[in-house]
Structure 1
């Protein structure tokens, strides 16, 4: 009988705050920060230091690609684009938390993403040297711009999305006219690779950053067609000047303007960010005049003139140094990987807020003021600052401990939340003891640290070894443990309780009861479940020596590995011992006679960790090839391969019940893999792995790998945006099957009519009660918008002709006019030469010519009418919103007029009374004097 096994699947990933090779950015509201974390995209609220949402790709048999670039739409708070290392781009709705569409076009990792100002277009650059323009509304690629000879590093839109500027590692900046789909300007002059560029909000200046010691600034000419007097009329960018950078040790990693356009941040590939103040036109001219005046004073009455031919008496020429003034230099604690300006001013008295991601897996927020720059917040608790060296699950499976170079963290393995952070030395190994109340940590300095888990405090530090303490193994009686270190010693310890002198509180301590010198560095120790043996891995001898634990006499030695054994474990019944080595081999030994049962070439790189599932002969191994593998030690069969980590897997730990395991990696992530109720068979798993291998090798197939390609693309050439993928091929097969089924059903219907039988026609059950045309239309509508182009390109001409025969019927449906127009255009462009020479295609083309233009015009008129109606309604609503204001204003004017009339009437009464009194007095002069 064929044996079945239970499957393990990835359930949770945590511990990563920000990736090392991607940018961060704010959404358009400025309330949330988008931070890539390997294959996830997290939405952070920096005020609360909490991730609100995580956007993760659906699970797949292979490892998910990592996020390599991210951009937020300036016109929508909820639209975000993320580029991945496999060349795909995904549009996310942050409010719904769903992926709206997937755009496939690049053959290399996406390195640059930028939305247009309206948010309707998206430009992407990649390691395949191409730039692709995407229609966000139509969810499809428009065209591919080719011309760069190296990786595209950044892109930016100009003239409200009419032009596009791209820079590359080939040291050139290219300006593309998107209406003409051609390159109109190529800018050289950089001596090294260009890494970033940006444009201010008014599109006056464009700045580029490279490894040169200067920043280059360009003025943007928006009316190039009318500017034909002198020079090149297509000169969109004109060199404005250069400014020397303060830090010249590292290259420029990124340049970014804030949304207001008054600040410019220049991030270096080090620990500094230079912040420049962008002066307005008046201040820039004033600064230029002072510069010329200083030049004149320095000349002391010499030849009248200024720099670069400036005349003092003439109009002063403003330079780049007059517009951009260095304001601050931000010095971070560690290397900076990305920066992002907040689009809104969050703090009173602050010019802007700058978010910074560091290579130590943390985020920092700075407030930029006129006189200083200050740190206003950090996000560092949910992750380690360096790679994870060891993980350990508690006996009840409710706690998880991980160690790194400066801290020990206690996690909740069910939720991934960090419960405790304890300062520590570089922890190489760890273990829970005393019913999970305490934990032991062996450090690189040879110290043994005892941690109280409940309080999260380090209660004692013991000088255990003079060199690195590499391994800890608990004794089965629960009274002690065994350690091995780089000082060639194996030590046996016993537990004890100690009292502190201050508060007389008792805590756990350990006493060394035996020390044995084994002659070589000890890399791993493991005590058998019976307590009879202790296995010791020695380096550089690459041998495992098994000693009797009580007398420490040598029982036998295990020879066979060619490189040092880095890890080992003994099964629960004490029958088997498994060893993993730097020679990539996994060896299974019998612990009774020391014979090698099987040697397996297990991983493509060094094996870092192995462990048996308790009470079984199943085991897991982890290696530097980023894989975790599940084995049957009795049948010597590979059961599963778990992919997910993006760097070397350094450690693993399995729960006592075997229901889940946890792995730690150099990518600073901790992943949890759960055992499911789904059973599988070895043969089926092998077939699936072959299918996955075939799909993954599709890009390297004969058509893509060995087809003749240009060594360098044609200068400024344009190509199709999409690419052929497994999804497009599957969609093509489904469409061909639908055409065949529909054609067969139509023939059966005609045959039934010719026979004139009285029986009822029985349609094909596969069509689910639909008419042949509706069935094909449903199959065509199910194709993703971005994959439609490549799907139709893969369609043979005979099937394309069948598809065109249905277009006349479909175009009568008002909801499908746009789709039918696109399908017709693509088929005509693809099969034009064959269509004009095929007589059977003429009736179809004639019918489409008569009806398609009319239906498209009617659809266009409907859309125009709807847009005009919406504009009219908007105007009416704006007028209604102004009514209360206008009424209040009218009332105020009326009140003021009444008050003025009342005052005038009172003045008139006063004058009349004076006149009457003056007439009654005998002498008017005396009354006036009085």
Structure 2
């Protein structure tokens, strides 16, 4: 009988506040901050400091979910998230659901930007393309090609009619959205452009690059009468295609490259974040202040020049200018003093410099200006931390930091309590206690660099071995470090509990393996009892002890040494028993099965070896991971083994059959540690990406052969995708200058949808023939009742074909129809007439008809059989579309009318309330006057 196994699946992940691959962004209300958390987007309530929602993509059967690479929030509740596989997901932040997925890019999405109305979304990618998306229609409009390197940022201008994109190719491109062409190419940058932004009034555009300058451009606008206005200033006659005019540069203080430039919502501040620890805040002066500053600058220049010339005259012996005492030596034009030219230094003034403790990954201005400050700025740091600063006129203050929900660095060890109710993890400076079922952080304790950890069977105390050679005793209930004990002369690499005894064993880099006993007793001078630890014995080794493991009967102790061998000794007498050698590099992890029969070792040579503990023979050596194996552990009371490695994979093995059972993907960086629950119902892993992930055992059974076939299919599909991508690259090596292409991309889903449409067209055609033959036979003589095709589920042929489009995403419709042969496209066109009778399908029918006409235009013109279909087309389509257009127009006009009525009512209510308030104030003032009059009368009576 074939053996069945229970499947493990990803259950939860926690510990990541802000990952480094993406930007942060406020939502439209300013109450929540959107932060990337690997493949998720965390929605943090700023005042409470809590993560209220987590936007998690549905798990894909083909590999792990890609990480978030860009975030943008719309004026409404929609949130756009760009991912590493080139997909874009639109989320509803109120519901926490994914509204749609847009596929078009062939590389990671690097930037996203909504227009002011929130109806259009522009995306840039590592594939050098810019795609414009219709958010309402959930489809791609067109692809803009021309950049020679990855697109770094995009921004809308002129009320969404123009788009500016920046790239690592050192050029800015201005695109006209209506005509879909590149209007202007702006050069002049000496290095890659990393970010750009436009102020609120769209007067200035600023770019940040790898050099030490911020470049500013004045924006030319088209006025109503067709005359151009450049940056709010009078401009001379210029090229009509010139939208951006160079305005000037500002020298930055930091020498690091610019990562982000961003204006605040009101347009009064500009933040320049560098790829370091600083953010420079510039204040933007209004026109009046800028002109006054320019006048002062010209006046100072004039005085300086005058004093210089006067000094030169004195030195030459000419004292006439000194005796005159006027400014006759300096001549200035009338325009220079009365209306001087405003420069970039007159408009942008450095206000503050924010210095963070760690490298800054991203910044975001709060869209709502807080009271008593100019703005609020959020910072994402590369140590998994969010900080919030209040920018005031005189200083900047750090108001809040979100740091308790995650480690500042790699998770180096994880260990579970005996009842699996809590989890302890260590990093370079902190210990955290978690609830594994909810993922909430219960305690945070400052510590040294913890390399290994252990929770004692009482579940009240924990032990942490540090890089400094100390053992820290942790009181889990109070969340405090009770004692720091000097244990070894080198780093403590491993801690193992002694079964059925109050003791544990530590292995260290000082070549010592020490046995310890612990007991809870009251120390002199202390009121409460505490855990005390004492060294019982020490076993000297010939090299650094990397890992120690104790057999379940406490008979043997296995020690992995730096010389790539594993020494097995008797635990009571320290007498040598076995030596396990065979690994080519040091053994980094090992574990002994619950019955004591097997010992499994994992090494830096990427192999795991399964040994018999009775004779020390190697049962099997398996090439397990593509990089070093960092942790292995048996499932209790079984011979199933979990292993993790630096290749980011968790693997599940059968140590008796030496077979790979499952490969679990999910981590985005090296996996350092592993813990298995005592019932084997879940496992926990910790990684370099600072996340802690849970993997639950489900009731779903699987078989080894089925998993092998599934892995082969995934490899085959991956090879097909890679071949398709390579074919695409070889076809289009360098894009045409300013070219426009289709927005979508061909995927496995679009090809499957095309195959389904072709299949249903053939079935529907055969069914129509059967219906026609049956009708002819029925007219000639009496025949039996017609038996419909059971595959059609009782639908008519046209409805059966229409149902094929129910699962086709709006964004994939174009690529699905492009793959249709002309003969099938002609069949599909013949069904469109019947589909127009469905009122809810008019938009879909119009899109299908338009796409097919655009794709097969030349063939349709030269095909006589297509003319009757096209003739019917022109009549019905125009009528249907015009009817629905009139309905939409009527509804929009009615909504505008209702809005005006509500606005007038609110104004009337406000007017009534204001008049009542004035009336009340008049009454109060009248009463005060009456009281003052009566008081004067009384005082006069007293005097008399």
Q: TM-score range by the shorter chain?
A: over 0.9
1:552 alignment partner, SS class:
coil
Range with greater deviation from structure 2 (225-234 or 869-878):
225-234
Q: 1:194 to 1:706 in 2, by over 3 A?
A: closer
Query: Contact (CA 8 Å) 1:310, 1:317: kept in 2 or not?
Result: no
Q: Which residue of the partner structure matches residue 861 of structure 1?
A: 886
Query: Contact (CA 8 Å) 2:560, 2:566: kept in 1 or not?
Result: yes
Q: 1:703 to 1:411 in 2, by over 3 A?
A: closer
Q: CA deviation at 1:690?
A: 2.4
- Aligned residue among 735, 742, 747 for 1:713: 735
- Aligned residue among 810, 823, 830 for 1:798: 823
Structure 1 stretches lacking a partner, 5+ long? 898-930
Q: 1:308 to 1:483 in 2, by over 3 A?
A: farther
Q: CA deviation at 1:4?
A: 0.1
Query: Contact (CA 8 Å) 1:582, 1:606: kept in 2 or not?
Result: yes
Residue correspondence of structure 1 range 32-51 to structure 2 within 5 A: 32-51=32-51
What is the distance in 1 between the residues matched to 2:156 and 2:523? 67
What is the distance in 2 between the residues matched to 1:229 and 1:252? 33
- Aligned residue among 268, 283, 286 for 1:262: 268
Query: Contact (CA 8 Å) 2:299, 2:337: kept in 1 or not?
Result: no
Query: Contact (CA 8 Å) 1:310, 1:316: kept in 2 or not?
Result: no
Q: 1:311 to 1:797 in 2, by over 3 A?
A: same
Q: 1:382 to 1:892 in 2, by over 3 A?
A: closer
What is the distance in 2 between the residues matched to 1:873 and 1:497? 76
Q: 1:157 to 1:226 in 2, by over 3 A?
A: same
Q: Which residue of the partner structure matches residue 113 of structure 1?
A: 112
Q: Which residue of the partner structure matches residue 926 of structure 1?
A: none
Residue correspondence of structure 1 range 104-143 to structure 2 within 5 A: 104-143=103-142
Residue correspondence of structure 1 range 87-486 to structure 2 within 5 A: 87-223=86-222, 226-227=227-228, 230-248=237-255, 250-300=256-306, 312-313=336-337, 315-346=339-370, 348-486=371-509
What is the distance in 1 between the residues matched to 2:18 and 2:918? 60
Deviations 1:256-306 (A, max 9, x none): 100000011110111111011111000010111111111111112568999
Do residues 653 (structure 1) and 675 (structure 2) align? Answer: yes
Q: CA deviation at 1:850?
A: 2.5
Deviations 1:784-833 (A, max 9, x none): 10010011011122211111110122123332222112111111111122
Q: CA deviation at 1:504?
A: 3.9
What is the distance in 2 between the residues matched to 1:710 and 1:127? 15
Q: 1:308 to 1:525 in 2, by over 3 A?
A: farther
What is the distance in 1 between the residues matched to 2:629 and 2:376? 45
Q: Which residue of the partner structure matches residue 83 of structure 2?
A: 84
2:731 alignment partner, SS class:
coil
Query: Contact (CA 8 Å) 1:257, 1:263: kept in 2 or not?
Result: yes
Residue correspondence of structure 1 range 68-83 to structure 2 within 5 A: 68-74=69-75, 76=76, 78-83=77-82
Do residues 490 (structure 1) and 513 (structure 2) align? Answer: yes
Q: 1:351 to 1:884 in 2, by over 3 A?
A: closer
What is the distance in 1 between the residues matched to 2:81 and 2:660? 35
Query: Contact (CA 8 Å) 2:295, 2:337: kept in 1 or not?
Result: no
What is the distance in 1 between the residues matched to 2:916 and 2:681? 76
Q: CA deviation at 1:495?
A: 1.6
Q: CA RMSD in A?
A: 2.2
Query: Contact (CA 8 Å) 2:418, 2:457: kept in 1 or not?
Result: no
Q: CA deviation at 1:69?
A: 0.4
Q: 1:151 to 1:773 in 2, by over 3 A?
A: same
Residue correspondence of structure 1 range 556-567 to structure 2 within 5 A: 556-567=578-589
- Aligned residue among 696, 700, 716 for 2:718: 696
Query: Contact (CA 8 Å) 2:620, 2:658: kept in 1 or not?
Result: yes
Deviations 1:352-409 (A, max 9, x none): 1111111111111111100010011110001000010000011111010000000111
What is the distance in 1 between the residues matched to 2:439 and 2:351? 41
What is the distance in 2 between the residues matched to 1:513 and 1:873? 85
Q: Which residue of the partner structure matches residue 770 of structure 2?
A: 748
Do residues 812 (structure 1) and 818 (structure 2) align? Answer: no
1:806 alignment partner, SS class:
helix
Q: CA deviation at 1:498?
A: 5.0
What is the distance in 2 between the residues matched to 1:867 and 1:471? 70
Q: Which residue of the partner structure matches residue 509 of structure 1?
A: 532
Range with greater deviation from structure 2 (710-719 or 599-608):
710-719
Q: CA deviation at 1:855?
A: 2.0
What is the distance in 1 between the residues matched to 2:871 and 2:607? 69
Range with greater deviation from structure 2 (822-831 or 228-237):
228-237
Residue correspondence of structure 1 range 724-735 to structure 2 within 5 A: 724-735=746-757
Query: Contact (CA 8 Å) 1:111, 1:126: kept in 2 or not?
Result: yes
Deviations 1:829-880 (A, max 9, x none): 1112222222221211121122222222222222222222222232233334
Q: Which residue of the partner structure matches residue 932 of structure 2?
A: none
Deviations 1:524-558 (A, max 9, x none): 0101111111111111x211111111111211111
Do residues 767 (structure 1) and 792 (structure 2) align? Answer: yes
Q: 1:895 to 1:562 in 2, by over 3 A?
A: closer
What is the distance in 1 between the residues matched to 2:166 and 2:18? 25
2:337 alignment partner, SS class:
coil
Q: 1:85 to 1:891 in 2, by over 3 A?
A: closer
What is the distance in 1 between the residues matched to 2:445 and 2:734? 55
Q: CA deviation at 1:694?
A: 3.2
Q: TM-score, normalised by structure 2?
A: 0.92
Q: Which residue of the partner structure matches residue 876 of structure 2?
A: 851
Q: 1:37 to 1:450 in 2, by over 3 A?
A: same
Q: CA deviation at 1:517?
A: 1.9
Q: Which residue of the partner structure matches residue 316 of structure 2?
A: none
What is the distance in 1 between the residues matched to 2:704 and 2:919? 91
Deviations 1:478-528 (A, max 9, x none): 221111111111111122345444424321122212212211111101011
Q: Which residue of the partner structure matches residue 549 of structure 2?
A: 526
What is the distance in 2 between the residues matched to 1:82 and 1:320? 35
Q: CA deviation at 1:707?
A: 6.5
Q: Which residue of the partner structure matches residue 614 of structure 1?
A: 636
Q: 1:308 to 1:797 in 2, by over 3 A?
A: farther
What is the distance in 1 between the residues matched to 2:423 and 2:133? 45
Q: Which residue of the partner structure matches residue 64 of structure 1?
A: 65
Residue correspondence of structure 1 range 813-852 to structure 2 within 5 A: 813-852=838-877
Q: 1:737 to 1:538 in 2, by over 3 A?
A: same
Q: Which residue of the partner structure matches residue 583 of structure 1?
A: 605
Q: Which residue of the partner structure matches residue 903 of structure 2?
A: 878
1:708 alignment partner, SS class:
helix
What is the distance in 1 between the residues matched to 2:125 and 2:438? 35
Q: Which residue of the partner structure matches residue 758 of structure 1?
A: 783
Query: Contact (CA 8 Å) 1:219, 1:237: kept in 2 or not?
Result: yes
Q: CA deviation at 1:475?
A: 1.1
What is the distance in 2 between the residues matched to 1:513 and 1:889? 85
What is the distance in 2 between the residues matched to 1:419 and 1:233? 63
1:657 alignment partner, SS class:
coil
What is the distance in 1 between the residues matched to 2:491 and 2:307? 74
What is the distance in 2 between the residues matched to 1:285 and 1:68? 42
